[in-house]
Homo-oligomer: A and B are copies of this chain.
């Protein structure tokens, strides 16, 4: 019953901040090791057993501490091998790029170069549905609750890994019979297709929010657990201010940076 080793081990990390709950001490200790680089991305953490001995705590307690770090996105459990430090390779995501094929000032390039020019393998899965407009879509497309929209859903992959969800909605009456309803790649882009139909978009509103991923997003993005996601919504308007497209982008928060560039005295 008595556990001499345990008492000694307890001295080390636990005394320093004796007021805090033990599970937080565990989390703090590991977090600091990770931030200091002592546990680099990919490194394996001490096992639950080792931690419970080192902190002289029950396994459930160190587990509670590990859960904190998992929820923070710092570590990833890989059963039954152990916990590993997550690496975060950031992708830059530029909503403005859809209208500016070759934009970017030299400043931006410096930050992007490292990540963007890695020669990745993109692919996507497309499905198309005709559905009643969900509330948030109907609002933005200025439709009634019973109006139909074409929902063009894409899961985009990079090197085989799910990268984001990209669902676009179009009022059915505008695109019926066009290639947009066809669940295949539109080579020249759906925006060009809309233009060809007489609905060129000249203005867009971008909305960006952040929340935890929903259960079905966890599935589609093949996430190990719920993680923060960036939700990016675009509503495209024609010259006469008619909304003709709404796109819902769900990006894995830890993997993306959304980038905008703006200039003073541009509009009006």
Residues of A in contact with B (beta carbons under 8 Å apart)? 28, 31, 60, 67-68, 71-73, 90, 95-96, 99, 105-108, 111, 139, 201-212, 215, 226, 228-230, 235, 237, 241, 243, 253-254, 256-267
Contact = CB atoms under 8 A, between A and B. Distances in A.
A96 B226 contact: no
Copies of this chain present: 2
Contacts of A237: 107
B212 A71 contact: yes
Contacts of A73: 211-212
B257 A209 contact: yes
Contacts of A31: 215
Nearest to A68: B226
Nearest to A202: B264
Contacts of A257: 207-209
B105 A211 contact: no
Contacts of A254: 210-211
A72 B230 CA distance: 14
B229 A99 contact: no
